[in-house]
């Protein structure tokens, strides 16, 4: 798997920074350069820079540059390497350490030594990223932030926390009949989907206990209306399992059934353990939520009075009366949660929240997940079978490339979603026609995306992004540049030959056959005279591979001409 890192060189000597960039080009290094810290600040604030290389000899601010970088970097685990003259490097580095530098390089430059040092810090950076990712999967973001600032997490009491429990009906019986590996794979499949759904509605997964799954709302985050968000997640989980069940029945296979329960009330959240930490919540609310789940029927969601009162009339519910709570004693009034009322549901169904309800709950008005699912299903079923290049895998690969470019270019949040949407739709026009397909893709965007909560302005931006993929159109902004570069990302990748082979087959299917020599000439002309990368990132990480590709094609052409 390819890994990339942003490296920023700050040096007012154009020759020195150019020299360092040439040394570090390739091997996953996305190298940016600038002359002063003032010019560097916008880059530092917008992009995740893993390694900084600073010439403290030439900088007028001297060692204060390091402090300025530390204050403005959006990453906590960046590595700063200083550049100094060979006769003064030791003294400068010692001073630089006080500000956060980790190493130094000297000039005249030793290319091998610089590469070796940077590879060490790249390895450390990737490990830091991996550790951070693992921690974020274990602990809520708010807890990690408090740990980072204070070195500890103080237990917190929450008055109206929501607990969601699920478990599978007769799991023990099914477990006895299944092979252990198959059992784990099935649980992983379902819990992975549950994770996706709970993240979508800003819930926090706490843990799984056997076949049980537990999540919270309104405890570790501050998005509004936690009870509504938790119920939206519960409905989507229930419907997902129902679809899985219907599919299994149609294929005459065994299926799993689910129960879901929710309760809202006071909770205490904290971390326990000394060597192996665990985040958990305690209180009567947890017990009642577990009882609500245990007392519901297969394929249903049971909520308590506290949840029902917090739903503000957005859902259809059916009273179950008072249910005895075993062990705890007493009884709680409970309800079956059916679906979202039609007037608050998206596209006339009761399964997904309308744009207005999503905004009310602090969620994105765009339901990207459903829009993605819709277009993928359309591409699967409607794209012509003889499209070997512009097929569904191509659109998914362009989306992956978009995500990669956005991370390296510092594009986030709404703009990232708009780009991913455009990537998935950009070749949808091939459903109708091979040439000038972009216009039809834009029509699909305009007719489909309003259903999924996209605004007129967002649809206009997505349409412009798709339009930029036309051969005769030049991109006008960074979003359009990224889609163009993502669409042709493979031109500089090692898998170029496998992909371009598919393109040749497709062109032959549509009446354009090439003799071997003509095909090589066609590739050279496109790579050398027609195509060019737009973003700084694409130029850094793909131009070298593209240049190698041109060189190899020209060698092939020479052999044909000589033979």
Instruction: List per-block mean pLDDT (blocks of 10 residues) for the chain, which spans 563 residues.
Output: 90 91 92 91 93 75 74 86 70 66 87 94 92 81 73 81 95 87 92 94 92 94 94 96 92 91 94 77 92 93 96 94 80 94 82 91 91 95 95 97 96 96 97 92 95 93 97 95 98 95 95 94 96 96 95 94 82
Q: Which of 349, 372, 371 is nearest to 232 (CA)?
A: 349
Q: Which of 524, 543, 517, 533 is nearest to 483 (CA)?
A: 533
DSSP state for residue 57 in the 8-state scheme: T
SS (H, E, C) 207-238: EEECCEEEEEECCCCCCCCHHHHHHHHHHHHH
SS (H, E, C) 500-533: HHHHHHHHHHCCCCCCHHHHHHHHHHHHHHHCCC
CB 435 within 8 Å of CB 466: no
Q: What is the phi/psi pair of residue 307, to 5°?
A: -70, -50
pLDDT at residue number 60: 47
pLDDT at residue number 150: 67
Q: For residue 386, what is the enclosing H or E element?
A: none
How distant, in Å, are the alpha carbons of 15, 345, 388, 430, 512 from that of 385? 53, 36, 8, 11, 17
Q: For residue 202, what is the enclosing H or E element?
A: none
Q: What is the phi/psi pair of residue 135, to 5°?
A: -65, -40
| β-bridge partners, 79 | 51
DSSP state for residue 15 in the 8-state scheme: H
At which residue do the structure tokens 């899985």 appear? 244
Q: Which of 299, 318, 297, 304 is nearest to 163 (CA)?
A: 304
Q: What is the CA radius of gyration of the chain?
A: 28
pLDDT at residue number 96: 65
CB 170 within 8 Å of CB 332: no
Q: Hey, what long-range contacts does 91-95 have (CB within 8 A, 24 or more apart)? A: 92/56, 92/57, 92/63, 95/63
| β-bridge partners, 34 | 10
Residues 6 or more apart in contact with residue 284 via CB below 8 angstroms: 265, 266, 328
CB 235 within 8 Å of CB 339: yes
CB 318 within 8 Å of CB 336: yes
Q: Which tokens go with 502? A: 């598919």
Q: What is the pTM of this model?
A: 0.86
Q: Is 283 exposed, middle or buried (0-12, 13-18, 19+ CB in 10 A)?
A: middle
Q: Which residue ranges form the domains of the chain, and what is each CATH number?
A: 5-137 (3.40.50.2300), 155-360 (3.30.70.1230), 368-562 (1.10.1300.10)
Cα angle for residues 383, 385, 388 (degrees, 5° grid): 95
């Amino acid at each position: 798997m390819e890994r990339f890192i942003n490296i920023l060189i700050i040096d007012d000597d154009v020759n020195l920074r150019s020299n360092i960039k040439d040394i570090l080009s390739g091997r996953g290094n996305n190298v940016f350069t600038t002359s002063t810290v003032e010019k560097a600040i916008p880059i530092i604030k917008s992009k995740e820079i893993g390694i900084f290389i600073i010439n403290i000899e030439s900088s007028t601010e001297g060692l204060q540059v390091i402090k300025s970088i530390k204050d403005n970097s959006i990453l906590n685990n960046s590595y700063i390497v200083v550049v100094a003259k060979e006769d003064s490097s030791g003294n400068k580095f010692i001073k630089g350490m006080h500000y956060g530098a980790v190493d130094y390089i000297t000039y005249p430059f030793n290319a091998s030594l610089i590469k070796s040092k940077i590879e060490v810090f790249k390895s450390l950076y990737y490990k830091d990223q991996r550790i951070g990712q693992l921690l974020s999967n274990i602990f809520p973001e708010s807890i990690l932030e408090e740990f980072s600032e204070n070195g500890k997490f103080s237990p917190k009491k929450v008055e109206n926390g929501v607990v969601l429990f699920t478990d599978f009906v007769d799991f023990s019986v099914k477990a006895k009949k299944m092979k252990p590996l198959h059992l784990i794979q099935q649980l992983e499949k379902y819990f992975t989907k549950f994770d996706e759904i709970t993240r979508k509605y800003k819930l926090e997964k706490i843990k799984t206990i056997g076949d049980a799954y537990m999540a919270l709302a309104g405890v570790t985050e501050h998005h509004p209306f936690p009870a509504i968000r938790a119920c939206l997640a519960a409905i989507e989980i229930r419907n997902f399992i129902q679809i899985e069940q219907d599919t299994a029945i149609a294929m005459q296979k065994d299926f799993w059934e689910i129960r879901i329960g929710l309760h809202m009330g006071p909770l205490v959240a904290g971390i326990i353990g000394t060597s192996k930490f665990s985040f958990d919540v305690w209180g009567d609310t947890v017990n009642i939520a577990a009882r609500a789940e245990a007392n519901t029927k297969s394929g249903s969601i049971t909520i308590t009075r506290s949840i029902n009162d917090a739903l503000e009339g957005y859902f259809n519910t059916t009273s179950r009366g008072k249910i005895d709570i075993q062990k705890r004693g007493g009884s709680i009034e409970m309800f079956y949660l059916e679906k979202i009322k039609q007037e608050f549901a998206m596209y006339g169904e009761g399964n997904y929240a309308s744009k207005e309800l999503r905004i009310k709950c602090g969620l994105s008005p765009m339901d990207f997940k459903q829009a993605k699912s819709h277009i993928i299903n359309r591409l699967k079923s409607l794209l012509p079978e003889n499209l070997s290049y512009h097929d569904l895998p191509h659109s998914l690969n362009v989306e992956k490339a978009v995500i990669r470019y956005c991370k390296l270019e510092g594009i986030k949040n709404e703009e990232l979603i708009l780009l991913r949407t455009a990537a998935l739709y950009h070749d949808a026009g091939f459903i109708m026609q091979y040439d000038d397909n972009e216009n039809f893709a834009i029509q699909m965007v305009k007719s489909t995306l309003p259903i999924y909560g996209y605004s007129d302005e967002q649809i206009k931006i997505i349409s412009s992004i798709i339009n930029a993929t036309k051969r005769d159109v030049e991109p006008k902004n960074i979003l359009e540049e990224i889609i163009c570069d993502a669409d042709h990302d493979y031109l500089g990748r090692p898998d170029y030959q496998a992909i371009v082979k598919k393109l040749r087959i497709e062109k032959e299917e549509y009446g354009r056959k090439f003799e071997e020599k003509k095909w090589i000439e066609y590739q050279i002309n496109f790579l050398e005279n027609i195509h060019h990368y737009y973003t700084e990132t694409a130029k850094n990480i793909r131009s070298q591979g593209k240049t190698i590709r041109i060189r190899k094609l020209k060698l092939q052409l020479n052999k044909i001409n000589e033979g």
